[in-house]
Amino acid sequence: MSTNIRSSIHTLKQHLIYLGTVVEEGIKNSIKAVRTFDPILAAQVQAADAQVNALEVDVEEDCLKILALHSPVASDLRFVVTALKMNRELERIGDLAVKVADKVILLDTVKKHEINPDAITVPADFEPMFITTLSMFSQLLDAFVNEDADLAYRILIQDDEVDTAKRNIRKQLDEIGKNDPKQQVYHTLLLSVARGLERIADHTTNSAEDIIYMLQGRIVRHEHHLL
């Protein structure tokens, strides 16, 4: 039985890492699609979501099987519970990457009806937001693979940077809209992109908290201010 649970947990870990890399690809491509206003790349992100959904189901089945057949305890239990929770978070992150990609396609539609299609002024804070959000997610996968609690803690801190960037983007959009009212037609979409990325960072943070629980048995969810 003990060899069995080891190999089941190993398989579960591999599946979850694979799901993570597929989701990471989705975030990367949706960000790239925003940067370059590329509706074709955005459509690819939409199409990849089916794979994310299928992998999520596989991981959940792995977890349920281990719970039912092996009654895991201690670090095994914490691992399976963490996998179950991270699985959900990763699937949501995948959905959000698709939502961001949706906005690129909508922007493209709007642009075609406007007189001056290339005149969109993009707020400066998008760039740091792209970089931090993507980097947080890459660190999340590293923290999971290498069982690195310190790295997981560092992810929690970066969430504030993304939140700040989103607030700045909102202000900058207001400013641009005042100076050039024609631009306002894009602003709901750009704001949705910012909100999508901010929520990706939130779910990444949740998963980092789950990893800390997995490694240290400590529930840090509501005590960021104490860290």
Cα distance between residue 189 and residue 102, in whole Å: 9
Say whether residue 75 binds another protein (CB under 8 A).
yes
Query: Which residues inside 2-21 make contact with another protein, applying CB under 8 A?
Result: 2, 5
Among 14, 71, 109, 184, binds another protein (CB under 8 A): 71
Gyration radius from the chain CA atoms: 20
Report the SS3 class of residue 115.
coil
Q: How far is CA 81 from the centre of its chain?
A: 19
Count of Cβ atoms closer than 10 Å to residue 106 Cβ? 16
Say whether residue 74 binds another protein (CB under 8 A).
yes
On the 0-12 / 13-18 / 19+ scale of CB atoms within 10 A, 190 is buried
Q: How far is the CB of 139 from another protein (least distance, A)?
A: 22
Size of the site for another protein (CB under 8 A): 14
Q: Which is closer to another protein, CB of 75 or CB of 109?
A: 75
Q: How far is the CB of 217 from another protein (least distance, A)?
A: 3
Q: At what angle do helices 149-179 and 126-145 cross, to 10 degrees?
A: 160
Q: Which is closer to another protein, CB of 58 or CB of 76?
A: 76
Say whether residue 78 binds another protein (CB under 8 A).
yes
Residues that bind another protein (CB under 8 A): 1-2, 5, 71-78, 216-218
